[in-house]
Amino acid sequence: MDRAQGEPHRHEAIAFLSSGTPDATAALARLTATYGNVDPDRADVVVALGGDGLMLQALHRFMGSGKPIYGMNRGSVGFLMNEYVEDGLHERLAAAARSMVHPLVMTATDRAGRVSTARAINEVSLLRQSSQVAKVRISIDGRERLSELVADGLLVATPAGSTAYNLSANGPILPLDAALMALTPISAFRPRRWRGALLSDEARVTVEVLEADKRPVAATADHQEIKDVATIEIGMDHETGLVLLHDPGHSLDERILREQFG
């Protein structure tokens, strides 16, 4: 993870996106009347009106485009969003702090041999699909590190995603600029005391599903789910950078730091 620093940017052409809720729809109408609303392909910046779910959708939609995303909270949690204020939007965008995040890339092979690739901004998670707990083998950079984990599942989280599902599963919060990934078990039964691991963001994680016919497992990269997986490889995609904009004093790395102090 890197923080994108530099001179203030001017974002004259704005593309607004709405989550479709009544609050977001009303905000879209008011902001469009004030600032216009250009096609995203011609926009200097994308302003997402909704909650964290919309922000993740926008980041996936514009992945690889280089367009910065600025969220304004018209949803519920809004951890990734800025406060909703209609006035002075051009000035806020010009003064915004830029945070660059890199997604995980997941390559999953299912039991039929089909290969699927997906990217995750928050985490890649593996979860049991039945009443039977999952059994998996974990290797890091081709070396077996855990011969058998018996659990509801496990996940690999980015620093940006470490305060989401990873935190709920008692995983560690990672500073945004830490060159790390969190490997966190979900309701581990055996080894009962294993709490996961911190890995270099250069590491390659391979998970093999054991007894896959009896204990089926699904793999999910953010919102894209692959069922009945047999093997999953996970690593950081350093070639793809996503830029989030936040008001001064409320940058993503500052929010992650504050989360560690309650």
Q: Residues 80-93: what's their mean pLDDT? A: 94
**Which of these, 57, 72, 89, lies nearest to 23 by C-alpha position?**
72
Residue numbers belonging to the annotated binding site for NAD(+): 52-53, 122-123, 152, 160, 163-168, 224
Residue numbers belonging to the annotated binding site: 52-53, 122-123, 152, 160, 163-168, 224
The number of angstroms, rounded, from the C-alpha of 103 to the middle of its chain's C-alpha atoms is 7
Q: Residues 220-241: what's their mean pLDDT? A: 96
pLDDT over 90 at 192, yes or no: no
* Tokens encoding 68: 């910065």
pLDDT over 50 at 3, yes or no: no
pLDDT of residue 128: 98
Q: Which residue would you say has higher pLDDT here, 253 or 120?
A: 120
Q: Residues 208-233: what's their mean pLDDT? A: 97
- CATH architecture of residue range(s) 104-236: Sandwich (2.60)
pLDDT over 80 at 2, yes or no: no
Establish whether 52 is a catalytic residue. Answer: yes
Cβ-based neighbour number of residue 155 at 10 Å = 27
Q: Residues 45-70: what's their mean pLDDT? A: 94
pLDDT in tens, 156-182: 999 999 999 999 999 999 998 899 999
**Which of these, 135, 192, 194, lies nearest to 183 by C-alpha position?**
194
Q: How far apart are CA 80 and CA 60, in angstroms?
A: 14
Global pTM reads 0.89
pLDDT in tens, 37-50: 999 999 999 999 99
pLDDT in tens, 104-115: 999 999 999 999
pLDDT of residue 114: 98
Q: Which residue would you say has higher pLDDT here, 238 or 8?
A: 238
Q: List, in sequence order, every residue forming a beta bridge with 64; answer none if it has no partner.
A: none
CATH class entry, domain 2-102+240-259: alpha beta
pLDDT band at 75 (very low <50, low <70, confident <90, very high): confident
pLDDT of residue 8: 52
Per DSSP, the residues of 194-231 read ---EEEETT--EEEEEETTTTS-EEEEETTEEE-SEEE
Domain chopping of the chain, boundaries: 2-102+240-259, 104-236
Summary mean pLDDT of the chain: 93
Does residue 59 sit in helix, strand or coil?
helix
pLDDT of residue 5: 46
pLDDT in tens, 9-42: 666 899 999 999 999 999 999 999 999 999 999 9
Catalytic residue among 41, 52, 213, 228: 52
